[in-house]
């Protein structure tokens, strides 16, 4: 999987589409490596990875395409054939959708072959050349080092015990806010550990924002694709009991600052266009809304 995530990371560039990111693969890793491997589709040309798909939910595949083959009609025809025929094992029978924000040749073929417009998404991006303004929350940051701290066999000394307790409390806050931000969330401490132990998380951070009373109110995970490349916010949430206080804007600023510190050239995110409040929140944190893009639904 390292080869795949490295390839996807190398395809990220400023001015390009907000397509499948190594952070998407990293977030999916919370369900476990075997499940992720089952849901990933890889296309190669002369042994090189040129396209990757992540099956995300029933009948949806999120595509990443190498910029070098953006206009490759032959590859686009191959992808379309695989996406169209359930017997090829890429998408199931019945309802099927493709998130294809990159690959102009593929997008053109999907339209030409009668695939229909589906859900609309708004990509947003914030340039990180300049410093990011401070946010109004106290922010605690967790990294792969923290996961290693909890997994260490050397936590018997007093200082190690204190550090382990601190990280354990932080993970509990991270999980609690995630679950309180998304009604259908199944996030757990165990799933955080699976995600944090995986290779993509070596270039990621989880942030938890606390209000003046020390209550955890917002969270976000940020993913780097390497220095000089766009980073990704995935996911970001505000505790349902603490909304309407601009905590979404605050944690978005903290996320952008964290990515800048990690060397990212920009911070990116994509949210359903119907989520008007979400789009406005990112814009208020200095993100620029880009033209909306739609998924493609396979014709029946």
* Tens of pLDDT, residue by residue, the chain (300 residues): 999 999 999 999 999 999 999 999 999 999 999 999 999 999 999 999 999 999 998 799 999 999 999 999 999 999 999 999 999 999 999 999 999 999 999 999 999 999 999 999 999 999 999 999 999 999 999 987 777 666 654 444 555 667 778 888 999 999 999 999 999 999 999 999 999 999 999 999 999 999 999 999 999 999 999 999 999 999 999 999 999 999 999 999 999 999 999 999 999 999 999 999 999 999 999 999 999 999 999 998
Q: Note the pTM of the prediction, 2 decimals.
A: 0.94
3-state DSSP assignment of residue 58:
coil
Q: Which residues contact 277 (CB under 8 A, 6 or more apart)?
A: none
Helices 158-181 and 189-197: crossing angle in degrees, nearest 10, is 110
CA distances for 176 relative to 172, 186, 244, angstroms: 6, 11, 19
pLDDT at position 68 = 97
pLDDT at position 154 = 46
Bond preceding residue 171 cis, omega within 30 of 0: no
Angstrom distance (rounded) from CA 280 to CA 13 = 24
pLDDT at position 160 = 63
Angstrom distance (rounded) from CA 184 to CA 217 = 18
């Amino acid at each position: 999987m390292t080869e795949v995530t490295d390839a996807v990371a190398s395809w990220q560039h400023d001015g390009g589409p907000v397509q499948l990111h190594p952070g998407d693969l990293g977030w999916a890793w919370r369900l476990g490596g075997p499940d992720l491997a089952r849901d990933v589709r890889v296309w190669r040309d002369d042994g090189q990875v040129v396209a990757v798909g992540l099956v995300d939910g029933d009948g949806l595949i999120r595509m990443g395409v190498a910029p070098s083959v953006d206009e490759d009609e032959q590859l686009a025809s191959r992808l379309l054939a695989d996406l169209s025929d359930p017997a090829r094992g890429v998408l199931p029978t019945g309802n099927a959708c493709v998130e294809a924000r990159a690959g102009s040749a593929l997008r053109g073929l999907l339209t030409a072959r009668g695939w229909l417009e589906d859900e609309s998404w708004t990509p947003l991006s914030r340039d990180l050349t300049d410093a990011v303004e401070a946010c109004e929350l106290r922010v605690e940051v967790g990294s792969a080092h923290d996961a290693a701290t909890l997994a260490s066999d050397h936590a018997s000394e007093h200082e190690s015990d204190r550090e382990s307790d601190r990280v354990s409390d932080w993970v509990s806050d991270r999980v609690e806010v995630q679950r309180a931000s998304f009604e259908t969330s199944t996030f757990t401490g165990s799933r955080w550990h699976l995600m944090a132990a995986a290779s993509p998380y070596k270039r990621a951070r989880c942030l938890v924002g606390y209000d003046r009373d020390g209550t955890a109110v917002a969270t976000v995970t940020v993913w780097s694709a390497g220095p000089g490349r766009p980073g990704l916010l995935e996911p970001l949430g505000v505790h349902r009991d603490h909304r309407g206080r601009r905590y979404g804007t605050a944690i978005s600023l903290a996320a952008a600052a964290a990515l800048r510190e990690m060397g990212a050239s920009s911070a990116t995110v994509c949210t359903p266009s119907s989520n008007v409040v979400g789009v406005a929140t990112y814009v208020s944190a200095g993100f620029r809304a880009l033209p909306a893009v739609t998924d493609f639904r396979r014709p029946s």
